[in-house]
Structure 1
């Protein structure tokens, strides 16, 4: 297998542009998303796009790199708190770019990696920070939920195949 990651944070927003709220646990519904989240409700900014976006993930390692100004694409460090990045799940030790089309598990939930998520100018406007270039190619992964269940911070993440 080669890697074993961990879920650090779960965030949802009830609608597009709303502030993200951190959860102690999230109920994932197959084919829908996390209960209470904009994508579960179909009211997210990108809900009408054809790609599957039931759950979005981002690597803590990418956020750590922004805090080191690595690579140096802006005037200084960028501090994004969990939830600022607008992804549902913040993970550590999970090679998201390698999970496109792959099945993996977070606790009892099975996800399938969809397309890589790219930063957008919308996120820059919401945050008032120049995050577009620093997050390019490391802005996370859009996923579909194949088997639902409850997830919690601390859950192990590993391939399901």
Structure 2
């Protein structure tokens, strides 16, 4: 099942992204306590853009990048807010989904930037293209916890308003 593995909050661009067990998501603001919600993030000069409210990254992509390059690069160095597993985040661009009790819209890919390369390694610029995560807009206020499922909102479904997105590698037992 697609779910949240870790939640990371950084109070400023200069502080490390630290894990928290849960976080409050605020529409039009971001994650409570995070640098972008506080208006001090590296890209906070675009407050009218909703794609700075929340970032997500796939644990699988970060682990594969570290293996391939031999760099000690972890999800914390990626500096995204939510670390997920079992889901292809690229497929959520332009779609609504739910994490915990929070409704979210995928806005665009979160490609690696020069700031991240300066903080870690220039290799991230090439190595994480289309694997750097997802920028998203928070549509409803609520709490996100480690372990929460990631589910896509599905229209016109009589049985359930959501369906689990398990779009990662599948096995015969699924």
Give the TM-score of the pair, scaled to structure 1: 0.88
Counting only pairs closer than 5 Å after superposition, residues 22-33 of structure 1 correspond to structure 2 as: 22-33=19-30
In the alignment, is residue 89 of structure 1 matched against residue 82 of structure 2?
yes
Q: 1:109 aligns with which of 85, 102, 114?
A: 102
- Give the whole-Å Cα distance in 2 for the aligned partners of 1:140 and 1:12: 16
**Greater CA radius of gyration, 1 or 2?**
2
- Give the whole-Å Cα distance in 2 for the aligned partners of 1:112 and 1:12: 20
Extract unaligned runs of 5+ from structure 1.
70-75
Contact 1:66 1:79 in 2 (8 A): no
Contact 1:51 1:115 in 2 (8 A): no
Number of residue pairs matched by the alignment: 152
Partner residue of 1:73? none
Secondary structure of the residue aligned to 1:63 is helix
Q: 2:141 aligns with which of 133, 145, 148?
A: 148
Partner residue of 2:17? 20
Give the TM-score of the pair, scaled to structure 2: 0.82
Any idea what the Cα deviations from partners look like across 1:52-95, whole Å, max 9, x if unmatched?
210000001101211331xxxxxx32232231101011100121
Q: Which runs of 4+ in 1 moved over 4 A?
A: none
